[in-house]
Structure 1
Amino acid sequence: MSLPVNLYKYETLSIQSLLNLKNQTVFFASPSGFNDPYDCAIKAQIDEPTDDELERLRKIYLSKDWPQNVIDALESKSLPELRPILLKLAREVNSTIIDNFIKNRGVSCFSEVNNELLMWAHYADKYTGFCLEFDTNSEIFEKARKVKYVDTMPKLNIASIFADKEREDIMDLFCLKSKAWEYEQEWRTIHSEAGKVFTYDTNALTGIYFGPEMDPAAIEVICLVLQSQNPNIKFWQGKRSDSDFIVEFTEVFYTSAVRVKELGLST
């Protein structure tokens, strides 16, 4: 699946978000703090296994270093007897996988859109924050995954639960959300450890969009910081549209007060 040219990250105005801008970093947060209780926490149902799948699982388990009584049970039980045992075990393993992901992994979230009202309200503190524009050729997006929005809970094949390596259908659970969140048009990157930061290249950040209610003094601070790092970055001032329920943006060109004085433009 091809990435959009740009992806956007909504931010509240805070000391931490300003430090992230200054240090050119993206934070990978634990999903345990996400506002959607199902996010990264879908404990999918298991499809009823076929006899062939059960037989294959029996062979997988016989190859493990189990106590002799467990091996004897696996060898002696018929497939109808094994079915409820393996299904129960699969559900327990699936639950453990989800719990471990929420506890250990880090996720950073991006959007395809920069003018969505709910995004500005929820993630940019009621239009007082800002939105970052990233070039998706940046290294941070090499393994980005598009979030899928669905009406019903998925079901997993039982073989996926017991696979030794991560399977795509298992990983897809962590990029699956209810259609109620479809307006976010989200992409996400996943780190093996929560709480980590990724330092991106200076040119990866191509623009910043200021919320309609953002403090002008804060805008000036951000412009000073970013312009010193990348003179090609673009600044956009947002305002609420008078005709549509969206945030509109106009490009603004920032010149520091010191530069204004040097140019003899101050009064």
Structure 2
Amino acid sequence: MQNQNVPPILYKYYSPSSWKNVFKSWTMRFSPPEDLNDPFEAQLAAEGFLSTKELKRYINEIISTSNFISEKHDNTKTRKEKRKALKNYRKELEHKIRHRANCGTIGKDIQNDLSECARKNFGLLCLSENTNNNNEDTSNILMWSHYAYYHKEFMIGIDTNKLIEHIKSLCTNNLSIRFHKIKYTINRKRKLISNYTHSIDVFLEKSDQWEYEKEWRSIIVLDKNYLDFPWKNIFSRGKEIKGIFEISKDCITSVTFGAMMKDSHIKAKCRHIRSQLGCEHIELKRMRLHDTDYSLIRESIPEDFFKNINKKKVNIQPLINPHIMK
């Protein structure tokens, strides 16, 4: 089950080419961070390479195997001189190791390698709360502008519990997966590189400039050798499109069309949905510009708006008898 704080319905906005992917192929995608529009996605901001505990253990190993052992047994030095020499040796080692690991090429190379691995081998399913001030029918103007082709395309509502259960049912592994809320911050949080290997925080923190998205994410490993998952084999221009999977129709609760979509397109898409079995529960809605405010209104679409109704032609009689004009 989901965390109780996860909204029961989350939303996803789509571009013009995505209609066939959702409502013909019935697929969604866990996108690798490298394919998303934020260049900081999964980019590690490490403050160091070794923790204090790891550094101490490493220094002890070096001292125990170095020539310093023979110096400890040098009878020409007093105990105080030996302690001072050991202290200075530790200090010198710590300085060299920290400089090499944190400031030198080792730490930077490992940081870059881990970032590249995270950006290529993990998939993110990104959804939005879509609401402003907890008003369910007030949509996010910027989201429609940025992700739904300037309000000309569509948005779907997703039952988060059903989607997670569906994803788990596709996997033969004991998959632990859920939605996480994105944390928006002014500054990038820095961690030791060794701590990043046990954390998913790198996928869940973004600049506060993205806060308007009100995003929730689910994270999955895309590596086929690690996770036995029925990914769709899709290729575009010779490149594999990772992270595409089939969804169940009952995961989709609604489809909403943008305020600038033409009526003829809305009608065609509504008919397409209603023509498919198992789609009777999907609510059909559209956005409308508010008459006086800078806001959008979400309205239900009546069935007779898009149904093919044969209307009889009405012969309009002329108001003036043409014989009178002779």
TM-score, normalising length: structure 2: 0.66
Q: Distance in 2 between matches of 1:222 and 1:134?
A: 18
How many residues are aligned here?
243
The structure-2 alpha-carbon separation of the partners of 1:50 and 1:107, relative to structure 1 and needing over 3 Å to count, comes to: closer
User: Within the alignment, does 1:245 sit opposite 2:294 as a pair?
Assistant: yes
Cα deviation 1:210-251 (Å, max 9, x = unaligned): 101113233223222322232111111111122332221111
Q: Are 1:207 and 2:254 an aligned pair? A: yes
Residue in 2 that maps onto 1:198: 245
AA aligned to 2:121 is N
Unaligned runs of 5+ in 1: 63-71
- Equivalent positions of 1:68-107 (< 5 A) are 76=66, 78-87=93-102, 88=104, 89-107=106-124
Asked whether the 8 Å contact 1:113–1:185 carries over to 2, the reply is yes
Corresponding residue of 2:232: none
Q: Is the 8 Å Cα contact of residues 18 and 222 (structure 1) preserved in structure 2? A: no
- After TM superposition, the structure 1 stretch with the greater mean CA deviation from structure 2, 104-113 or 181-190, is 104-113
| Equivalent residue number for residue 10 of structure 1 | 13
- 1:148 and 2:183 equivalent? yes
Counterpart for residue 138 of structure 1? 162
8 Å contact 2:48–2:107 — kept in the other structure?
no
Structure-2 residue corresponding to 1:182: 211
CA shift, 1:18, in A, is 2.4
1:48 Cα deviation after fit: 8.3
Give the conservation status (yes or no) of the 8 Å contact 2:184–2:210. yes
Relative contact order (alpha carbons < 8 A, sep ≥ 6): 1 or 2 greater? 1
CA displacement 1:50-78 (0-9 Å, x = unmatched): 6424124668xx7xxxxxxxxx6995473
What is the rounded CA distance, in whole Å, between the counterparts of 2:128 and 2:206 in structure 1?
14
| 1:105-160 per-position Cα deviation (integer Å, ceiling 9, x unaligned) | 33231100161111111100110011100011123484222211000011103431
- Select between 231-240 and 22-31 the one with higher mean Cα deviation: 22-31
Number of the residue aligned with 1:167: 198
Aligned mates of 1:127, 1:211 — CA distance in 2: 4
Structure 2 residue runs of 5 or longer lacking an equivalent are 67-89, 132-138, 168-176, 223-240, 313-326
Deviation track 1:144-190 (CA, whole Å, cap 9, x = no partner) reads 222110000111034315xxxx412xx21122111011010011223
Does the CA contact (< 8 Å) of 2:21 and 2:28 recur in 1? no
- For residues 300 and 294 of structure 2, the distance between their equivalents in structure 1, rounded to whole angstroms, comes to 20
Give the conservation status (yes or no) of the 8 Å contact 2:49–2:107. Answer: no
The answer on 1:119 being equivalent to 2:143 is: yes
**TM-score of the aligned structures, taking structure 1 as reference length:** 0.79
Contact 1:53 1:159 in 2 (8 A): no
Question: How do 1:39-54 residues align onto structure 2 when only pairs under 5 Å count?
Answer: 39-41=41-43, 43-47=44-48, 51-54=52-55
SS at match of 1:23: coil
RMSD across aligned C-alpha pairs, in angstroms? Answer: 2.7
Kept in 1: contact 2:123–2:243 (CA 8 A):
yes
CA contact (8 A) 2:51 2:192 kept: no
SS in 1 for 2:24: helix
Equivalent position to 1:157, from 180, 188, 192? 192
One-letter amino acid of the counterpart of residue 111, structure 1: S
